[in-house]
Structure 1
Amino acid sequence: MSKKKRILSYDGIKGISIIAIILYHLFPSYLPGGFLTVNTFLALGGYFFTYKVEQIEFNSAKRDWSSIWHYFKNTLSRIFFPLLWMMGSVVIGLLLFDRTQLLSIRDDLFSGLFLYNNLYQISADKSYFVRMTEASLFTHLWYNSLYIQSFVLAMVGVFITKFLNLKGAVKAIIWSLIAGVSHFALLWLYVPGQDPSRVYYGIDTRFSSFVLGIMTAYMIPVLLNLFYRVKAKKVLYYIIGIISFIGFMGMPFFVKDQQPETYYFFMPLYSVLSMLLIFSITVGVPLVRKVFEIQPLPWIGRRSYSYYLWYYPVIVLWFKLQRQFDGRMYWLYLSIAISLALVSELTYQLIERQRLILPFTTSFNWKEDWREFQLNNRNLWLAPVGLVLFVIMGAGWVMARNDKPLTQFQLEYQLKQVQPSLFEIADKDERAINKVKTRVEQLEKELDTVLISKIETENFFDIAKKALVQTSGVGEEVTQITNDNADVINEINALDPELAALVPDEVKLFASKIRVSFFGDSLILLSAPNALNVFLNSNDLGIQSLQIWKAVGVLTDWISSGEVNDILVINLGTNAGLDDQGMEDFIAAAGDRQLFFVNSDSAVEHRDSVNQIIKKFAEKYDNVHELDWYSYAKDHPEFYWEGEGVHHTPEGADEFAAFTAKELYRFYNGQVPE
């Protein structure tokens, strides 16, 4: 029997889809919707799954359990063993070069290898879109888990419909209803303004993409029969192909992972477009087929699983060296591309194509593998090498623990230092004062009134000028003013001597008078308390993992409380970047306040895009300004915690406070705004 010719276009779709996913992580501002092509992989998976299982006999007369088990085992083998080698290689690398990372990734290891990573990340409330203190090397393995879960659920459903001997059209309708239920779950569970990772990871909300692939497989024969006698059917197929191709290629350039419309509309739409694209290739629309057959798309597509396994660890590991590539980021991206291509090709050739035969490591056919290994004398030398690798790999897995990462411990300790709890205040009188102060603040919010007013510090220049025009007592008043301002300077010096040493006296007096509100994510949460040691009449609101799409609502609520000053210093974008719509909404919510956005020097892959967006909006609006922290801090790695490069050390927090004070002093020419 002749072997069916492989349709390269299917590989081409997979090739362009994996490229889009990788570019989404590297250049989110240029391809913000690259994550959508995950739906395409799921739809293709459902489509080919259906063709495979429909060849297995399963009805009231005969149930071929052997073929079912064989198909399931082969599918699991194709997923599991390349995954095992990727994770094992990473564990060996960590054991040899970065052993401390092993102490906090046990759950990631086991959930990834045993294909429940998406469920683990949901239960642990982990985010796909937030880059916190240390990105896990295995965050991306949620897809493997989702795929195998979809595979198992679909297998049950398909064999039920086969047993009932339903017609293809009826099966297509049933699976379309199941897809609708899954999408309804997405609509029900998605909460606008909150992190969408729950609906992104969930089998209940993502099953629809796999199901639409199944529906396509059943629908194509029905449609071909329906249009068989239609003379203009080729024109119709062309129209379907062109529309689906334009949507497939275009949507990743404008859909954003932070928009509610993405989850309400664009994600299911992209699954439908993927379904129509599969239909167009199957019926042979030349325009669509030829585009996806352009090399190297099919070549990459055949290796897409190996690329998928390696892209996230490679990106995360290289971006730990981001500061060493400042000003030469193209070398970083080139290094990522070369490394990814190399390890992916090795995995594809040696493991996926089984050119490296080691017992128990490439398939579940262990007897056959062992027999082939013994017969092939060329591979005998690999036995001791493989044994050593597995001993090292096993040692790494045994050493793995779920301890808190060192950088997270350092950050939490820093947070406790700047925001001590009531029980950590040693002096009993200070504890009592703090308790009363906290209760008064609660009453102020409940009664919507002000019970305690802040002490205003004197402005040296304004009062000295008035004193000079007095007809008597000039010397005494100037002396008093000088003494008052000396008290302010002494107070700042006592609060934080390290910070005070970085700030000139005239800037201290200016900062002590000006009213600023610091707002943002964990960088503000950790660093703004230091700034308040010089900005004596200011306040702050920092929230861990705050992202631009949620920040608008948080800022609006804070403004409603009446606590937000007319000058806002903002640090956002570290966790998941910024986008134009989010910035527009934030600026509108802030009203006519002066907004000072701090650009980023954190070691995150979207740093440059964040800085570009801030610069663009600073040029667009008169009340929006850029604080160029990047240029100030880029040559000072000591400002950030070693190993994560995202959050300020205590030294970095003091430098941030001093930088902000001096920049505002320069902007306002030393004059406190009314």
Structure 2
Amino acid sequence: MFHQVSYFASFGPPSPLGHLWSLAIEEQFYLLWPLLLWLGLRYIPRRGRLIRLIMALAFISAISMAIIYQPGMDPSRVYYGTDTRCFALLIGAALALIWPSRRLSADLPPRRRLFLDAAGGAALLAVLVMIWQNNQYQTFLYYGGLFLFAIISAVLVAVLAHPASRLGRVFGMQPLRWLGVCSYGIYLWHYPVIILTSPGFNTEGLSIVLAGEQMLLSILLAAVSWYFIEEPIRHGKWKKQWKRLPIVLRQLPRLLGAHGKAASTSIILIMFVFVSVGSGCSLISHTHQQSIPPRAAAKTEQTVKPVATQVQESKDNETESQAGTEAANEDPDKRDVFTGKGVTAIGDSVMVEVGPALQELFPDIVVDSKIGRQMYQAPQVIKNLKDQGMLGNTVIIELGANGAFTEKQFAVILELLGNDRQIVLINNRVPKPWESVVNHLLAQAAEDNSNIKLVDWYTASSGHNEYFYSDGVHLQQAGLQAYVSLVTDAVNP
């Protein structure tokens, strides 16, 4: 947050350490909470008042999230801000005071046990449904959804911690317990494993085999780190091993021999490569956020003004224009050529690349494109084009590659364009989590409005890695030709 690096919006390879933001929030909480709890227990002796105070702080945190969040904008500030996410930890702290596990009894009447299991089952189902149905770009999450999820999770934890819970016995089975023991390590390892073993971009879709291999590797690394790093540190064995390390290092060459030396050298090299790749990916990720393919870099902002320019030129050179019109009227073939007059394209860096090719085919088309443009900026662009008389009867919108947007934001765009215009929406292929969200909203808009046509670039580019540069968004020559062909088919009368 301090460096203003988005958790969601950066292009290029993501950092394999990007998931450590949650651990940072936890560590900050661990540093502050013991002192705050000590003050609370000392000056607020009544447990009920202390619990109410903790829950009030949790509400303040959740309200702060709702106030700071701006729909359709990058949610990183509220998603991993300590002040806007600590409500989950505070709810857990309140649960520890309300539901101390040492005071819970396994002897419960059948009716209460049934209620306990029903509450746990309902909470588990709710957790799974919310994970399945929600994504990080839905406004519901920031207007109470994450707070609700924390409450439901607290109910589930309370049920699982109760010794009388049947659901707790299921989750207490040995395989699940072992996964729980290694869960911290699994969290630490899974993201680097996924980042470092996944292709830079992939148009083939999800690979079940690769996903399975990544899952197994994450669990294996977590188990190794648990037994050889975490456990020795927890039980103080690392001190003895640290003292013996110089002796072992001196005797290592004699004990290992030639094959052992090779093996140990290989292990050291593997660790070095892993750390180097992790650091390199972090550096590359930061660099790629500000880099674009050569064709787009040459034209960082492009408001192509063929119509405005040609209108002005026609005023200055009226005779030439009339002569051209007469010639076209005399030649039926020329009269039938569609020049793109009345077509306006609004887009981001992809349209910066595509614009010149569209101009060659349609000399009268108006293209307004800018690198980094997002959908929430489109209304102002549309108003400016209207004021300049450059908004055609057919409007192409190519936006969404740089971030998600809401239904309300898109409804404003449709209202500005009106029902009398033909609207062509181009969906996205971008290796980012908002891809499916954006494409779903565009498809829904096309389905609900008869004057909207959807150009399905996502499906057309499926299986064609050769279409893209390494960022998986911007187009190489083959992709450019395919893209222009789709747009041409959509706008040709």
Q: TM range, normalised to the smaller chain? A: 0.7 to 0.9
For each residue in 1:298-346, what CA deviation from the matched residue of structure 2 results, as whole angstroms up to 9, or x when unmatched? 55433333332233334444552654x63xx45x2321221231x2232
Q: Which residue of 2 aligns with 1:527?
A: 354
Distance 2:372 2:164 in 1: 46
Shift in CA distance, 356/557, structure 1 to aligned 2, threshold 3 Å: closer
Q: Which residue of 1 aligns with 2:219?
A: 345
Amino acid at match of 1:125: Q
**2:295 aligned to 414, 418, 425, which one?**
414
For each residue in 1:85-115, what CA deviation from the matched residue of structure 2 results, as whole angstroms up to 9, or x when unmatched? xxxxxxxxxxxxxxxxxxxxxxxxxxxxxxx
Note if 1:639 corresponds to 2:467.
yes
Amino acid at match of 2:209: L
The secondary structure found in structure 1 opposite 2:136 is coil
Equivalence map 1:445-464=2 (5 Å): 454=311
Q: Does the aligned pair in 2 maintain the 1:130–1:545 contact within 8 Å?
A: no
State the 1:271 CA deviation: 0.9
Q: Does the aligned pair in 1 maintain the 2:69–2:78 contact within 8 Å?
A: yes
Q: Which residue of 2 aligns with 1:598?
A: 426
Distance 1:290 1:583 in 2: 48
Aligned residues between the structures: 469
For each residue in 1:147-196, what CA deviation from the matched residue of structure 2 results, as whole angstroms up to 9, or x when unmatched? 21222122222233355583433432332232233223323322233211
**2:454 aligned to 626, 650, 655, which one?**
626
Shift in CA distance, 172/597, structure 1 to aligned 2, threshold 3 Å: same
Distance 1:162 1:653 in 2: 66
Q: Which residue of 2 aligns with 1:367?
A: 239
Q: Does the aligned pair in 2 maintain the 1:319–1:604 contact within 8 Å?
A: no
State the 1:347 CA deviation: 1.6
Q: Does the aligned pair in 1 maintain the 2:348–2:398 contact within 8 Å?
A: yes
Shift in CA distance, 539/289, structure 1 to aligned 2, threshold 3 Å: farther
Q: Does the aligned pair in 1 maintain the 2:300–2:352 contact within 8 Å?
A: no
Q: Which residue of 2 aligns with 1:554?
A: 377
Note if 1:276 corresponds to 2:150.
no
**TM-score normalized by the length of structure 2:** 0.75
Shift in CA distance, 512/521, structure 1 to aligned 2, threshold 3 Å: closer
For each residue in 1:350-380, what CA deviation from the matched residue of structure 2 results, as whole angstroms up to 9, or x when unmatched? 111227999xx99986532235666899997
Shift in CA distance, 581/401, structure 1 to aligned 2, threshold 3 Å: closer
Structure 2, unaligned runs of 5 or more = 315-321
Shift in CA distance, 624/479, structure 1 to aligned 2, threshold 3 Å: closer
State the 1:575 CA deviation: 4.3
Distance 1:397 1:254 in 2: 32
Q: Which residue of 2 aligns with 1:570?
A: 397
Distance 1:584 1:294 in 2: 50
Q: Does the aligned pair in 2 maintain the 1:357–1:369 contact within 8 Å?
A: no
**2:54 aligned to 160, 167, 175, which one?**
175
Shift in CA distance, 632/402, structure 1 to aligned 2, threshold 3 Å: closer
Q: Which residue of 2 aligns with 1:138?
A: 17
State the 1:645 CA deviation: 1.8
Structure 1, unaligned runs of 5 or more = 1-121, 422-433, 439-449, 458-466, 468-475, 487-504, 669-674
State the 1:510 CA deviation: 1.2
The secondary structure found in structure 2 opposite 1:336 is helix
Distance 2:282 2:180 in 1: 36
Q: Which residue of 2 aligns with 1:194?
A: 73
- State the identity as a percent: 20
Shift in CA distance, 337/538, structure 1 to aligned 2, threshold 3 Å: same
Q: What is the root-mean-square deviation in Å for CA atoms of aligned residues?
A: 4.8
**1:335 aligned to 196, 210, 215, which one?**
210
Tell me which moved more, 314-323 or 372-381: 372-381
Distance 2:327 2:8 in 1: 56
